[in-house]
C-alpha cells in the first residue's frame, strides 16, 4: 500500500475540522497509508513574513526525502479538475510515495516551491491552512474514488 503524507504548518484548532478530517482519513484507509505531519507555525509580524516563510520552509524540507514526489498547495499553482488531480496522484503514486505540503499564513518559501514536482492551487481565494487540510484530504479521497470507480464522485 502506497504512502501519502501531508506536511502542514499549524495545528487544526477547530473540533469540527478535526472530526471531518478523521472521517476522510478513515475512508482513505483502504486505499493508502495517510500520514500527517504538523509543523510549528513561525511567529509573524509585519516586518518578518519572509523570515517566517524561510524558517517554515527549512522545517518542511527537513521532513521531505530525496525520493518522494512533492505536491505543494499554493495559490499561484495550477488549478486542476478533480479528474486531473486523480490522474496526477495515480501517475506519481504508482512508483513513489507522495507528499503534499500546506504552508502557513506567511505562504510558501521559494525553496519548497523549487523542490516541488507539482504546484497546485485549489482556488484563487485565500483559504486558512486548517480548511485547506480538510479540502486536500477530501480531494485525495475523491481521487481514490475516481480511480476505483466509486459512486462518491459524480
Per-residue pLDDT tens digits for 52-68: 889 999 999 999 998 99
Model confidence at 46, pLDDT cuts 50, 70, 90, reads low
Query: Which one, of 152, 126, 129, lies nearest residue 139 by Cα?
Result: 152
Classify 49 as helix, strand or coil: helix
The domain 3-147 is placed in CATH, from the list 3.30.499.10, 3.30.70.940, 3.40.50.300, 3.40.1280.10, at 3.40.1280.10
pLDDT, residue 43, reads 81
Cα–Cα distances in angstroms (integers) from residue 109 to residues 57, 80, 84, in the given order: 5, 22, 25
Is the predicted pLDDT of residue 2 greater than 70, yes or no?
yes
Q: What is the pTM of this model?
A: 0.93
Amino acid at each position: 500500500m502506497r504512502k501519502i503524507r501531508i506536511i502542514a504548518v499549524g495545528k487544526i484548532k477547530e473540533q469540527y475540522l478535526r472530526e471531518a478530517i478523521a472521517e476522510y482519513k478513515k475512508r482513505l484507509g483502504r486505499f493508502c497509508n495517510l500520514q500527517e505531519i504538523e509543523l510549528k507555525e513561525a511567529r509573524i509580524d509585519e516586518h518578518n513574513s519572509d523570515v517566517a516563510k524561510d524558517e517554515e520552509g527549512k522545517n518542511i524540507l527537513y521532513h521531505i526525502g530525496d525520493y518522494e514526489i512533492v505536491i505543494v498547495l499554493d495559490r499561484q499553482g495550477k488549478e486542476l479538475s478533480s479528474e486531473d488531480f486523480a490522474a496526477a496522484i495515480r501517475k506519481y503514486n504508482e512508483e513513489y510515495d507522495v507528499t503534499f505540503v500546506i504552508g502557513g499564513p506567511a505562504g510558501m518559501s521559494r525553496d519548497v516551491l523549487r523542490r516541488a514536482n507539482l504546484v497546485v492551487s485549489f482556488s484563487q481565494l485565500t483559504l486558512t491552512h486548517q480548511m485547506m487540510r480538510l479540502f486536500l484530504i477530501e480531494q485525495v479521497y475523491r481521487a481514490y474514488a475516481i480511480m476505483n470507480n466509486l459512486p462518491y464522485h459524480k
